[in-house]
Chain A
Amino acid sequence: MNEKLHPFHIMILIYMNQTGVVIMSLPHLLAENFGYNGWLGVILISLVVNLNIFIISIVYRLGKGKSIFQIMESSLPRVITFPIYMILIGVWSMTGCMVIKNYVYIYQIMSYNTTHAMLLKLLIDIIAYLLIIKGIYTISKAATSFFWITSWMLLLQLFFIKDFEWARLTPFLFKGDTHFLTGGFIVFTAFLGYELCFMLFPYADNPKKFIKSVYKGNLITTLTYLIFCLICFGFYSFEQIRNMMYPLLDLLSYIRLPFIERIENLLFGFFLFTTIVSVVLYSWSAQETFARIVPKANKKVLAFIILTFGYIVAWFPDTLSEVGQWLQYLGYAELGVAFGLPLLLILILVIHKGAKPS
């Protein structure tokens, strides 16, 4: 518990947690729900995220850096905190495992088509487990090195400048067949992950810079999404994006180096790094919550129970679209947590006029 997180690491952790598999289909989701020039929808959603971070920052300020569990337990009876914790554990552990299953299923479109998906998932689960039991400090260090391993991929977008045409973007803004509300929710799931910053309250090294680095993390995510989606909208025609399930996969398969082509299998492997951070952080949060219910238990055992629970649940959805459905519903639940939990905490803190001095 002595080791604290540097603001830079928090920024990277938030960014890595936000980006995951949804980026595969993000341009498609934007075109389908926001219409022409839907890539600008990224900015709208990012603003909502900023609002949410602002709400969380109020909790942080009022709570004077206390962990959310301490705030809740200080004023709520166990009868109320217990179901809240159970919901949190359920949502977080299932989100973690579904993200892996989604990654595995998309991976299987390309290779290992007939290998059992759950075997591949098990491999990723083992890596995730080894990381989770090391605690948040090591997780954030790992996330930072994963960030450097994957960040060069942004440069791959230079390949598409030659065929990029502004004319394809059209001057129409958010026109065509649009679904702002449902679409907004779906696209929002691409940004989820920032909300776990409320789990990091007790670990912040520098209280003044903590919230700032969360904003910065979200800013990096927004810029990454924005540039990537802009490239897609100018590289493909609008109707085409609406028809493509995973524009990112198609983009990757377009890359050709003088000595090699069709390197998308290799490149897709790198997305495991961004995905696994999300999985690890969600499962770690679930484990921390679980530890509140059974404070005396060994955390390694708890992490094992959570991943096993997730693994069993992950057997149920059997197709890629089912996994997508599950992830979407879990995303909605997580959205409720992201907004609902901080609001509840603010309510508690206001009633108690700030955190009691510990």
Chain B
Amino acid sequence: MRTMPKAAALLLVIVIIAGCGDQRILEKQGFIQSTGYDLNGTKNDEKDNRLMITVDIPKSDPEQRMQRETLTAIAHSSKEAKILFAGQTELSLVSGQLRSTLFGVSLAKTGIWKHIDTLVRDPSISQRVKIVVVNGRAHDLLVRDYPQHPRAGQYIDRMLEKESALMSFPLVTIYDFSRDYFDDGIEPIAPIIRENKKNISFDGIALFKKDRYITKIESKQSLIFSMMKQNFKKGEISMKLGDGSKKQEYLLFSSVISNRNVKVKRSTKGNFNIQINIVVKGSVLEYSGSHELSKDYDRKKIEKRMAEYIENEAAALMATMQKHNVDSLGIGRNVRNSLSYEEWNKLDWNKEYPDADIRISARIVIKDFGKFK
């Protein structure tokens, strides 16, 4: 037993000494919060395949006036850029606190998987890093200061977190993107943001084919897109209801609870008939039309018109997606799950999708209409 204290002391010494091997001192670290990727060359200059990479680093040192540091480098890859950054700053850069990556739209068109691949591979990077497409250049958006808002990286991050909770735009993380990238029945999406004079705003949903940006969905349609894609709670949508002849009515539908299901049938010829049923419940808090919300008969009429509105908008969205051949809703998954493995393997869903017969029907339930008759 006498050896025990000695052994314990030895153990303690070894444990403490092991800590000296890999030191990380907080004040000397630069925690990258956002990274922006852009193509360096313009369209005319296609030989230049280098990237312009920008990082946004918050600074916590109270003695310094600057709240943040931005670094830009032109390199072939993000890891090469990291080496170039190292030569520009006194901090040692680490990516453990990375929150969002921004891709310029011109780069997104050429494919972004190879950049996301390094993020997935690097164990210091969280699975929850957000992926955002910038309509314009990510560099310009990141280096600017927005006097009324926090620094760019935090501004974007907080806005995304808040708005995605309300379903106004999708929150797409590395996890979501790579999961859908590898799935054979769905294509990835990402939110698009844009730089305005005074602020940054949401600009729609980017639709990808594998890792290439193909087209986008306008921001005002994003909730309809969400209704078609998944079940969700929360969110609000403003609708313009017109019945052709009469003047237009405006309605705000809030506290939305939306459920959808997809039914796949295959005709004898081998064509697919796909039915997407959407059921939306919510409350109406603003209505500018001539009907009375408190009357059951009138309310049913309004519900019907709202359903028509959603069906029309959804059909238009569906047509766009089929035209560009992007299955962002993941209908391919439902088709796959209705087939046997051999049938699915034989089927070229890419070819079938643009011509598939996809119908959308919606049912609206106005749960309540506020506290006033």
Contact count band on A = 35 or more
* A78 adjacent to chain B (CB < 8 Å): no
- B-side contacts of A175, CB under 8 Å: 341
User: Contact partner of B334 among A167, A172, A262, CB < 8 A?
Assistant: A167
Q: How far is the CA of A167 from the CA of B184 in the complex (A)?
A: 12
Chain-B contact segment, one of A40-48, A57-65, A248-256:
A248-256
> CB distance B336 to A170 under 8 Å?
yes
How far is the CB of A67 from the nearest CB of chain B, in Å?
A: 29
* A220 adjacent to chain B (CB < 8 Å): no
> CB distance A240 to B178 under 8 Å?
yes
* A260 adjacent to chain B (CB < 8 Å): no
> CB distance A122 to B128 under 8 Å?
no
How far is the CB of B19 from the nearest CB of chain A, in Å?
A: 9
- A-side contacts of B126, CB under 8 Å: 253-254, 261-262
How far is the CB of B346 from the nearest CB of chain A, in Å?
A: 13
- B-side contacts of A111, CB under 8 Å: 22
Q: How far is the CA of A213 from the CA of B23 in the complex (A)?
A: 46
* B26 adjacent to chain A (CB < 8 Å): no
- A-side contacts of B337, CB under 8 Å: 167, 170-171
User: Contact partner of B18 among A123, A171, A261, CB < 8 A?
Assistant: A123
> CB distance A115 to B22 under 8 Å?
yes
> CB distance A237 to B22 under 8 Å?
no
* B123 adjacent to chain A (CB < 8 Å): yes
> CB distance A123 to B341 under 8 Å?
no
> CB distance B179 to A237 under 8 Å?
yes
> CB distance B128 to A115 under 8 Å?
no
Can you name 7 A-B residue pairings with CB atoms under 8 Å?
Answer: A36-B341, A122-B14, A171-B337, A172-B344, A236-B182, A240-B179, A250-B175
Q: How far is the CA of A101 from the CA of B133 in the complex (A)?
A: 42
> CB distance B7 to A240 under 8 Å?
no
Q: How far is the CA of A103 from the CA of B44 in the complex (A)?
A: 51
Q: Which of B122-160 contact A (CB under 8 A)?
A: 123-124, 126-128
Q: Beyond A172-B341, A250-B127, A262-B96, is A130–B183 a contact (Cβ under 8 Å)?
A: no
* B15 adjacent to chain A (CB < 8 Å): yes
Q: How far is the CA of A79 from the CA of B337 in the complex (A)?
A: 61
How far is the CB of B344 from the nearest CB of chain A, in Å?
A: 8
User: Contact partner of B333 among A114, A167, A250, A256, CB < 8 A?
Assistant: A167
> CB distance A254 to B175 under 8 Å?
yes
* A347 adjacent to chain B (CB < 8 Å): no
How far is the CB of A122 from the nearest CB of chain B, in Å?
A: 7
* B180 adjacent to chain A (CB < 8 Å): yes
> CB distance B18 to A119 under 8 Å?
yes
B262's closest neighbor in chain A, by CB?
A167
User: Contact partner of A113 among B18, B22, B97, B340, CB < 8 A?
Assistant: B22
Please, what's the 1-or-0 string for B242-279, where 1 marks a CB less than 8 Å from any CB in chain A? 00000000000000000000000000000000000000
- B-side contacts of A238, CB under 8 Å: 182-183
- A-side contacts of B124, CB under 8 Å: 110
- A-side contacts of B127, CB under 8 Å: 250, 253-254
A169's closest neighbor in chain B, by CB?
B337
B10's closest neighbor in chain A, by CB?
A126
How far is the CB of B159 from the nearest CB of chain A, in Å?
A: 18
> CB distance B21 to A114 under 8 Å?
yes
B337's closest neighbor in chain A, by CB?
A171
> CB distance A239 to B11 under 8 Å?
no
- B-side contacts of A236, CB under 8 Å: 179, 182
> CB distance B123 to A110 under 8 Å?
yes
* A320 adjacent to chain B (CB < 8 Å): no
Please, what's the 1-or-0 string for A97-114, where 1 marks a CB less than 8 Å from any CB in chain B? 000000000000111111
Total B residues in contact with A, Cβ cutoff 8 Å: 30
Q: How far is the CA of A114 from the CA of B127 in the complex (A)?
A: 23
A123's closest neighbor in chain B, by CB?
B14
* A4 adjacent to chain B (CB < 8 Å): no
A250's closest neighbor in chain B, by CB?
B127
Q: Which of B332-355 contact A (CB under 8 A)?
A: 333-334, 336-337, 340-341, 344
- B-side contacts of A36, CB under 8 Å: 341
- A-side contacts of B330, CB under 8 Å: 167
A245's closest neighbor in chain B, by CB?
B121
User: Contact partner of A240 among B18, B128, B182, B333, CB < 8 A?
Assistant: B182
Q: How far is the CA of A254 from the CA of B7 in the complex (A)?
A: 39
A244's closest neighbor in chain B, by CB?
B120
How far is the CB of A40 from the nearest CB of chain B, in Å?
A: 15
- A-side contacts of B336, CB under 8 Å: 170
> CB distance B128 to A237 under 8 Å?
no
> CB distance A240 to B183 under 8 Å?
yes
Q: How far is the CA of A111 from the CA of B183 in the complex (A)?
A: 31
- B-side contacts of A130, CB under 8 Å: 7
- B-side contacts of A256, CB under 8 Å: 128
- A-side contacts of B15, CB under 8 Å: 123
User: Contact partner of B184 among A171, A239, A262, CB < 8 A?
Assistant: A239
- B-side contacts of A176, CB under 8 Å: 341
- A-side contacts of B183, CB under 8 Å: 168, 237-240
Q: How far is the CA of A249 from the CA of B126 in the complex (A)?
A: 11
How far is the CB of B95 from the nearest CB of chain A, in Å?
A: 11
Q: How far is the CA of A126 from the CA of B128 in the complex (A)?
A: 37
Q: How far is the CA of A234 from the CA of B181 in the complex (A)?
A: 15
A173's closest neighbor in chain B, by CB?
B341
* A120 adjacent to chain B (CB < 8 Å): yes
Please, what's the 1-or-0 string for A225-253, where 1 marks a CB less than 8 Å from any CB in chain B? 00000000000111110010000011001
How far is the CB of A250 from the nearest CB of chain B, in Å?
A: 6
Enumerate the 5 nearest inter-chain pairs by beta-carbon distance, A residue then B residue, closest first: A237-B183, A239-B182, A115-B21, A240-B182, A175-B341
How far is the CB of B146 from the nearest CB of chain A, in Å?
A: 25
Q: Beyond A123-B14, A254-B127, is A114–B334 a contact (Cβ under 8 Å)?
A: no
Q: How far is the CA of A163 from the CA of B183 in the complex (A)?
A: 15
Q: How far is the CA of A116 from the CA of B21 in the complex (A)?
A: 8
> CB distance B128 to A261 under 8 Å?
yes
- B-side contacts of A261, CB under 8 Å: 126, 128
Q: How far is the CA of A170 from the CA of B344 in the complex (A)?
A: 11
A130's closest neighbor in chain B, by CB?
B7
- B-side contacts of A254, CB under 8 Å: 126-128, 175
> CB distance A237 to B11 under 8 Å?
no
Q: Which of B161-208 contact A (CB under 8 A)?
A: 175, 178-184
Q: How far is the CA of A236 from the CA of B127 in the complex (A)?
A: 12
